[in-house]
Amino acid sequence: MRAPLSFAILAALAAPSTVSAVEIDGRVDPAEWQGAQHITDFRMVTPLSREPARYPTEGWVMATPDGLAVALRNTQAADVPRTRQRAQRDVGGAADRVNLYVDFDGDNRAGYNFTVLLSDSIIDTTITNENQFNDDWDGDWRHATSEDDQAWYVEMLIPWHIAPMQGGNGDTRTIGLSLDRVIGTTGERMAWPAVTFTEQSFMSRFSRIEVPRYSQSLLAITPYVVGVFDNVNHKGDFDGGADLFWKPNGQFQLSATLNPDFGQVESDELVVNFGAIESFFSDKRPFFTENQAFFDVPFGSLNTANRLIYTRRVGARTDNDDGSGDVTAAVKVNGSVGGLNYGVFAATEADEVGRDFYAVRATQGFGEQGLGAMVTRVDRPFLDRVATVYEVDHRWAPTPQWNIRTTAVASDVEQAGAHTRDSGAQMRIDHELGDGWRQQLYLLHLGDGLQLNDFGYLERNNFNYGRYEIARRITDLPEDSPYRSHEWRGAVSRRVNDDGVHIADAWAINRQSNRRDGGDQFFEIASWTDGHDDLITRGNGVVNVPAKYFLFAERFRPRKAHWAFYGSARYAVEGLSGDLDKGAVTLELEPTYHVNDSLSFVTGLELNHNPDWLLWRGGNLLGTYRSDSLFLNAGAVWLIDSKQELRVKLEAIGLDARAQQAWRVAPDGRALAVDEDIPDFSLRNLGFQIRYRYELAPLSHLYIAYVRGGSMFDEFEHDSANGQGVDQQFFDAFDLRDSEQLLVKLAYRFEI
């Protein structure tokens, strides 16, 4: 029965359109949707049984000159409570909601996810690499909801100018499409077609449909002004800039920015990082998130943070380490010609320490296969350095059960006339075995001289990694079980650097479970064999390290009445002693109290005790510490109405570390205990923000924010009076006042 339905969908959507405009009011008027394709074959995907949907769900899809119009009717029995919780944009929650997934080119390269909650709150994200989502992007699209005693309803209109698209064939274009619906109180999900993002092959299994090849033009200019008063230095500052978006037709799109907004109204999470790998932060600047998915090429590990373009490099700390870079302008072009997709990115910073960033990317699809290539270049005159990276990627899906992705890169860094060249490659093979089984093989090589971090984000180079994973999904659990489904995974891996140093072999077993209360549960047990740490000394020797052991469990329970809850526990033995009784214990508790659907309070507390914390202290000197830390993440969100929002966010960290033993790394890698004095230390961090947002129009906002923060790092002698314990460090964090600002920002989007 499904094959004739698919052909009917193709025929209906590809038919010449005489469709009038749809009024997006959340009421599915049969007269308005006459002629739209009616979809009823929704299947259960959480749990992933692919059985007919437990709750009747209907969808309507129609291409109109104004955009892709979609409606859903969600029947819900009276004994299944509806969750009307409102949420900040892109935050979402365990609420009743629907999702529209669209691949406008139908080539599995880039997709878009549009989510509407019953409360009419929204989430919009980009999708790359089959199933990797990024919510930094915000699009301009229309949506509305309504409800009655039998069901609730959603209408969406996605303008054709929201993304660059290929030209199509004649008067039609082929797009990939998927719809799903989630029951907030139970966590159940039903989808058409029967596929979900937890599967490795997600976008490639969308339904391929033909729609009329409509095209829209758009010219939008968003000037912004921002005023800041610094209450510490008692001075004010005023700045302004503008973003421009121009799409004359469906095959060309240009974004540009002058003196771009640096996300002053956003705030990064506080992070304590004494390791050799830098912290990764997402980008909230509008220009740098607009249609950036085309340039997002993941490379370097299964960690999705690794990528060839990390936009936070643009405007990052200057090469002379004197503040942040002053971005003068940036431009981005996306388009297609004859089936070839292309993109160009360029940004420049001011002054003699300014850097210039360039990227060119192209992709071409060939049915079951696709090719992509990119070149990036960064000029850093202050360092007399030019870094160029070349990339080629290939995807191949010979059958719906197989998905093979390969990426190769090479870097050429010229500094002071000398060249450093090296290369790397990765391959990921996903195979659905059937009956709930799947397997994955991941292989990675990163050359010793491979350098990607002038423009990209790579945790490390000089690395070879192989990992095999086998997984089994279980959905036929008894009705009296508290679980709806389990997914078991087992993995083995090997890590060796390019010099032949064995870092470690590892194994892991975990289980992800969906519970009948709508929540999730996860646990994992893992271990690394004894091996070597080649990063901790920052190039001053490789350290022999003992075996490592890890236990982790977490539980999320969605809102019931007024309360929602998240909790996790971790035990990790990864110090120099290797003693099982000297593992680090981390506990995290995060209850959320919902006063009503619009006002909520959250208090997250993380406690960590580590009796065997190994840190680098310079050169080949290491130190073992006994540490305690407290991390508070608290706040409140009041969604006053559909246009107004008040947010309070507080983060505070207190850390106290007492030196236990100093070590010197011998030439053969042994850590030798030495009688050298290494100081105790403490750390305090504070971040506090009160932010009011008023939406003047789509993508146009007024922000008023009060921000305060500070950081303090102290080193002191043993038994010094400064060693007051972690509780005192934590409470002293609230006295920090390195910065205190009042900020007002106005950004308004003019569409021409």
pLDDT in tens, 497-529: 999 999 999 999 999 999 999 999 999 999 999
In this structure, is residue 737 part of a structural domain? Answer: no
Give the mean pLDDT of 625-639.
Answer: 97
Query: Residue 93 maps to which CATH number?
Result: 2.60.40.1190
Question: For position 64, what pLDDT does the model report?
Answer: 94
> How many residues are listed for the chain in this entry?
752
Cα distance between residue 699 and residue 68, in whole Å: 20
Question: For position 752, what pLDDT does the model report?
Answer: 83
Question: For position 290, what pLDDT does the model report?
Answer: 81
CA atoms within 13 A on the CB side of 486: 14
Evaluate the CA torsion angle 50, 54, 56, 58 in order and state its sign: negative
| E runs forming strands in 76-217 | 97-103, 110-117, 122-128, 132-134, 142-147, 151-158, 172-182, 189-192, 207-212
Q: Which residues contact 599 (CB under 8 A, 6 or more apart)?
A: 636, 637, 638, 639
Q: Which residues contact 596 (CB under 8 A, 6 or more apart)?
A: none
Strand-strand pairing, 700-716 and 739-747:
antiparallel
Domain carrying residue 14: 2-213
Cα distance between residue 240 and residue 245, in whole Å: 17
More confident residue, 144 or 262: 144
Cα distance between residue 243 and residue 308, in whole Å: 24
In this structure, is residue 91 part of a structural domain? Answer: yes
In this structure, is residue 396 part of a structural domain? Answer: no
Judged against a pLDDT cut of 80, whether residue 381 lies above it is answered with yes
In this structure, is residue 88 part of a structural domain? Answer: yes
Model confidence pLDDT, tens digit, residues 7-39:
333 333 444 344 457 899 999 999 999 989 999
Q: What does the mean pLDDT of the chain come to?
A: 91
In this structure, is residue 28 part of a structural domain? Answer: yes
3-state secondary structure 487-546: EEEEEEEEEECCCCCEEEEEEEEEEEEEECCCCEEEEEEEEECCEEECCCCCCCCCEEEC
Question: For position 17, what pLDDT does the model report?
Answer: 40
Evaluate the CA torsion angle 496, 502, 507, 512 in order and state its sign: negative
Question: For position 94, what pLDDT does the model report?
Answer: 87
Model confidence pLDDT, tens digit, residues 188-207:
999 999 999 988 889 989 99
In this structure, is residue 225 part of a structural domain? Answer: no
Give the mean pLDDT of 324-340.
Answer: 90
Alpha carbon separation from 504 to 17, 500, 538 (Å, rounded): 61, 12, 18
Cα distance between residue 95 and residue 152, in whole Å: 13
Question: For position 451, what pLDDT does the model report?
Answer: 97
Question: For position 554, what pLDDT does the model report?
Answer: 98
Question: For position 171, what pLDDT does the model report?
Answer: 86
Judged against a pLDDT cut of 80, whether residue 398 lies above it is answered with yes
Cα distance between residue 462 and residue 495, in whole Å: 11
Residue 720: pLDDT band with limits 50, 70, 90:
low
Q: Which residues contact 561 (CB under 8 A, 6 or more apart)?
A: none
Give the mean pLDDT of 232-239.
Answer: 92
State what percent of residues in the chain have pLDDT above 90: 78
- Per DSSP, what are the bridge partners of residue 63? 68
Model confidence pLDDT, tens digit, residues 170-193:
788 899 999 999 999 999 999 999
Give the mean pLDDT of 68-89.
Answer: 93
Percent helix, strand, coil in the chain, to 5, is 5, 55, 40
Give the mean pLDDT of 120-148.
Answer: 91
Cα distance between residue 642 and residue 145, in whole Å: 13
Q: What is the CA radius of gyration of the chain?
A: 27
- Per DSSP, what are the bridge partners of residue 573? 549
Give burial (CB, 10 Å; 0-12/13-18/19+) of 567.
middle
Residue 723: pLDDT band with limits 50, 70, 90:
low
List the structure tokens of 368. 């079951």
3-state secondary structure 73-99: EEECCCCCCCCCCCCCCCCCCCCCEEE
Q: Which residues contact 53 (CB under 8 A, 6 or more apart)?
A: 42, 43, 44, 181, 190
Cα distance between residue 518 and residue 556, in whole Å: 9
Q: Are 360 and 384 in contact (CB under 8 A)?
A: no
Judged against a pLDDT cut of 70, whether residue 222 lies above it is answered with yes
- What's phi and psi for 617, nearest 5 deg? -120, 15
List the structure tokens of 331. 């431009």
Evaluate the CA torsion angle 295, 301, 305, 308 in order and state its sign: negative
Cα distance between residue 444 and residue 467, in whole Å: 9
In this structure, is residue 95 part of a structural domain? Answer: yes
The tally of domains found in the chain comes to 1
Q: Which residues contact 438 (CB under 8 A, 6 or more apart)?
A: 199, 200, 430, 431, 432, 470, 471, 473
Q: Which residues contact 624 (CB under 8 A, 6 or more apart)?
A: 575, 576, 577, 612, 613, 614, 615, 659, 660, 661, 663
State what percent of residues in the chain have pLDDT above 70: 96
DSSP string computed for 40-60: ---EEEES---PBPSS-EEEE
User: Tokens 């001075």 correspond to what residue?
Assistant: 235
Cα distance between residue 135 and residue 143, in whole Å: 18
Cα distance between residue 68 and residue 36, in whole Å: 11
* Helix (H) or strand (E) run with residue 198 in it: none
In this structure, is residue 312 part of a structural domain? Answer: no
